[in-house]
Every structure is written in structure tokens, then in C-alpha cells.
Chain A
Amino acid sequence: MPAILSVRDVRKAYENGFEALKRVNLEIEQGEILAFLGPNGAGKTTLISTICGITLPTEGQITVGGFDTQVDFRSARNLIGLVPQEINLEPFETVLNTVRFSRGLFGKPRNDVLIEEILKKLSLWDKRKARISELSGGMKRRVLIAKALSHEPKVLFLDEPTAGVDVELRKDMWEVVAELKAAGVTIILTTHYIEEAEAIADRIGVIRRGEILLVEDKQTLMAQMGQKILQVQLTAPLSEVPASLAAYDLSVGDDGQSLVYSYDTQAERTGITALLNAIAQAGLVLADVQTRQSSLEEIFVGLVHEEEKAA
């Protein structure tokens, strides 16, 4: 399937010499959800702004649905919906008119049925006649999402959509994202919440200092880069790792009654069999054994630190 979004060798440099994007390449297939992770100032918002036409790339080419975003900007932008990071809304206008405006701006004829459906889905219907200035922060963010959905985009950008919102809205938003994905909409989101990426994304991209460090299938990423942790629960407490087990990279668990061992799932030998034998020989009695995969957060922190060291 051809990519719905293609970013080729895109560079963005400002007049002051700051290079916000350094030859970024990216291909996104229709219907997938890609989450971008990265520290503040990594270039996530610049990348989105450059794709959407808010800023112009210094070099490179971007196509959306096969349309060049500069040569055939009208066809490209018709396909794009954007929920910006900042809550930018005209405070004196009503919710309904604000959302209708977005649909018209994107060249679509008025469709009250669709707007009603969107507002109801986002729990905004009761507030449709309220002025934006009367709404809470969470409600305003819902309005931004409604505006982006009002013109039925095929590619939706969500720039930190759940920053500073309550759990309820976050859950609602995840549901909306799932529905959109089911309808074939491609979603690109940036987030600080790694659990958000872990929960809804198909692929994860990590961006840092204007460079995409990796874009990988979420499961593959977690399997490839994930460390597994083996926690051996003992029947009696212990204060330190016995000397006979010094050869293994062990630590005493927080509860003071377990040994913690981390191992690479991709390694030829995990060393688990030998470790368990050694524990038995040391005279320790096992009460329970647990394993868990490291979270995306641990992978992300590890990856960014690794890059920092390399730099």
C-alpha cells in the first residue's frame, strides 16, 4: 500500500541558524497510528507544523495522499486535520459557530447532522451555544478536536492532545482515536505520556534534536529493545546478595525478600537455568518467580540516554 504521508529529506532551519529538523525521512501508511515521543524542543511540533503548512520546509519534500504539500497544497491540506498543542480559540464565538467555521474554511458545505454527531461524541452538544470563553480547559480542548474532525480529515495530527487534561477526557479521546482508526483515518500524535503511546499506537517514533532516532512497530520495539526482569521471591528476608551469587548481576528487591535479575530476551542464553540452580545451591528457598517486560518508558529513557552518551 502506498504511504499516505511521505516526508523526504526535510530540513527546517531558521534565520538565526537554529536547525529544528535535520533531514527527516518518514513514511506512514493509511490507517495506522504513529506516536512520536521526544523531550521538549525535540522538533515534534515543528515537524507537524511543516507537514500542515504552518511553517515552510527549508529543503525536502512532503506529500500527503500523493499530493505535494507545496505544489498541490489545496489537495494535500484537504486531507489533513490538526489539533494543536496550544488552546487557540476565538473566545467570544460560540462552540457551534467555531466548529462550523472550520468545516467551511476547509471548503466543505454546511453539514449540521455531522457537526451534531461530532459534538455529541465529544460531549459538547449541550455546550454548543456557549461562548468559548465560558468553557473549561478540557472542554476547549474538545472544541479543538471537534474543529479538526469537522472537515472529515483522512490524516489527523494530534499535538499533545491530552497534555493537562483529566483522566476522563483522555479515555474519551482514546475512544475517539480508536473509532477514527476503525474508519481508516491515519493518526499521528505527539505525546509526553509514554503510556498513551503504549496504549494506542501501532508504531512509535522517537525524535530528538530535530532527528528521528527510530520509527518502529511498537511490539517489535518492545521485544527488540526490551529487557525482561526476573524477580525471585524467597521464603526468608536477606540483607545482601550472597557471595556465592556474585557472578550474576543481581540486586535485592525493594521488599528485602527477593532477588532481581534482568536479562535480554534476544540473547542466546538468558542465564536463568544456571541462576536458579545457583540460588538453590546457596541454600535459599524459592517462594515464587515472576517475570515482566520493561515498559516503553524505560526503553525511551534508555534510548535517549544512549544517544546523549554517543553525542
Chain B
Amino acid sequence: MNWHGVLAIYRFEMARFWRTLLQSFLSPVLSTSLYFVVFGSAIGSRIQEVEGIEYGAFIVPGLIMLSVMTQGISNASFGIYFPKFLGTIYELLSAPVDHREIVLGYVGAAATKSMFIGVVILATAALFVDLPVAHPSAMILFMVLTSLSFALMGFIIGIWARSFEQLQLVPLLVVTPLVFLGGAFYSISMLPPIWQSVTLFNPVVYLISGFRWSFFGAADVPVLFSLIAIGGFTVLCLAVIAWIFKSGWRIRS
């Protein structure tokens, strides 16, 4: 294992994050505050409680998940797409690093960044509402697994993309709708029965439900299902990445 190589990639990627620290930090703080103003105060004042939880607090896990997922994808996809775009990927392809090390470096850095943003949102939210955390270790586990698996998905998108437009396409057209329809801002028990069934096909439902359970001890779907969903998604992404490197698809001619 070339650990120096992994660390070099990780540090190089994190350096990009530190260079834009203000933007990395301010952007989630601002958007979280806006969500609280709009959903928490304006709409929340009419909803009051969902399943016995104050609405302002109820949306926090969904908000964190939304950012962790989208940031994990965008950081990892950009991280590997940018060297392809610049041509600096030649160095990665000619270096004594294998695909595990490349993935560890890029996905590790992207997951770190998205977790950092998740923590910033959590801290910002704690300024607005009371936030009990019923199962702290489960909360950390869900955040780590979600940021890792979505960073893996981002890595695949970054390899697949041939333009900056394509890079934005999947997060915009697939992930954001799935998160909004995945119970980020409501409990799926609030939906009509038919939509409750349909929504169970949305994998994001399981992640948000599990993460919310770690805060409030209440979930839309059993926690075990949530863990199986995120585990399955991680394995799927790893399998796709293994195939990409084996075949050289879109990286090595």
C-alpha cells in the first residue's frame, strides 16, 4: 500500500478546500439559516410539531443529509474531473498508485469536506433550536457512511463526466429531487397511503430516516433497513469503481 501516495492526494485535495475556506464555511451557514427562516419560522409556525418533535428541530437531520450528500458528490466529482480537464491526470496514471489508493485519497478528502459542512450545519442549527441527540454514535456512523458513499458516487460521476455541465447533471436532476422527496422536510406518514408506498422506492428515505432516528429515536422505516440501504449503496459504488479501474473506462485508453 502506497500510504504516502494516498496522503499526497488527500492533502492536495484538502488544500483546495482550505483555499476557499470562507466560501466552504459561510455557504452552509447562510443556507441553513435561510432554511430556518423559511421552513422553521414561516412554515414551521403553522406546523408546530411532527411526530411530537418541534418542526424546526425535525428538519435538521434532513438539512444535514441534503448538504452531506450534495457536497460529497460535488467535491469528489470535481476532485477527479478537474485533473482530467486540466490534463494533470497523466501523473496519477503514471504513478505507482493503484485504484484503491486513488479512491481513498479523493473520496477520503471529499467525505472529510462534506462531514465538515455537516458539522457546521449542525452547529448552526443548534443556535436556532434545541437539538437532542438520542444516539450520538449512530449519528456519527450515519454521517460517515453517507458522506463516504455519496463521495464514492461523486467519484463515479467525475470519471463519467466529459464536461462541467455533465458534472452538475446528476446532482441536479437526480440527487436533489430524491432528497427533497425523501422526507427531508416531512415525515412520510404525512403522505397519502399510495405515496407512502411509492416513496419507499426512494433510497434517500432510508438514509434520512435512519439519521433522524439517531437524533429523536423515531424513524419512518426500521433502522436496520436504513443501515442495509446505505451499506448496499456503498458496496454498489465500490463495485462500479472497481470495474472502472479494471476496464480503464474513460480514464486509461
Measured CB to CB, the residues of A under 8 A from B are 14, 49, 52-56, 73-75, 77-78, 80, 82, 84, 86, 88-93, 97, 100-109, 147
Contact = CB atoms under 8 A, between A and B. Distances in A.
- Most chain A CB inside 10 Å of its own CB: which residue of B5, B90, B96, B252: B96
A25 B205 CA distance: 58
B9 A105 contact: yes
Interface string B23-48: 00000000000000000000000000
B94 A54 contact: yes
B15 A93 contact: yes
A106 B86 contact: no
Contacts of B2: 74, 107
B181 interface: no
Interface residues of B, number: 28
Contacts of A104: 4-5, 7-8, 11
A90 B86 contact: yes
Contacts of B192: none
A35 B7 CA distance: 36
Nearest to B95: A105
A47 B91 CA distance: 16
Given A77-B94, A97-B12, A105 B5 contact: yes
Contacts of B137: none
A89 B86 contact: yes
Given A73-B96, A82-B91, A107-B5, 9 more contacts: A56-B248, A73-B98, A78-B96, A90-B83, A90-B86, A97-B12, A105-B9, A105-B92, A105-B95
Contacts of A55: 252-253
Contacts of B97: 105, 107
A102 B94 CA distance: 11
B4 A108 contact: yes
Nearest to A90: B88
B12 A93 contact: yes
20 contacts: A54-B90, A55-B252, A55-B253, A56-B253, A74-B98, A75-B96, A86-B87, A88-B88, A89-B88, A90-B83, A90-B86, A93-B15, A97-B12, A102-B8, A102-B91, A104-B7, A105-B9, A106-B95, A106-B96, A107-B2
Interface of B: 2, 4-5, 7-9, 11-12, 15-16, 19, 82-83, 86-88, 90-98, 248, 252-253
B98 A84 contact: no
A90 B2 CA distance: 22
A73 B97 CA distance: 9
B5 A106 contact: yes
Given A54-B93, A54-B94, A105 B87 contact: no
Contacts of B4: 104-109
A104 B14 CA distance: 15
A97 B15 contact: yes
- Most chain A CB inside 10 Å of its own CB: which residue of B2, B86, B253: B253
> What are the nearest 4 A-B pairs in CB distance?
A104-B8, A88-B87, A52-B94, A77-B96
A100 B97 CA distance: 16
Contact of B94 (A14, A53, A100): A53
A51 B83 CA distance: 21
Given A74-B98, A89-B86, A106-B96, A147 B91 contact: yes
A102 B97 CA distance: 12
B230 to A, nearest CB: 31
Contacts of A54: 90, 93-94, 252
Contacts of B86: 88-91
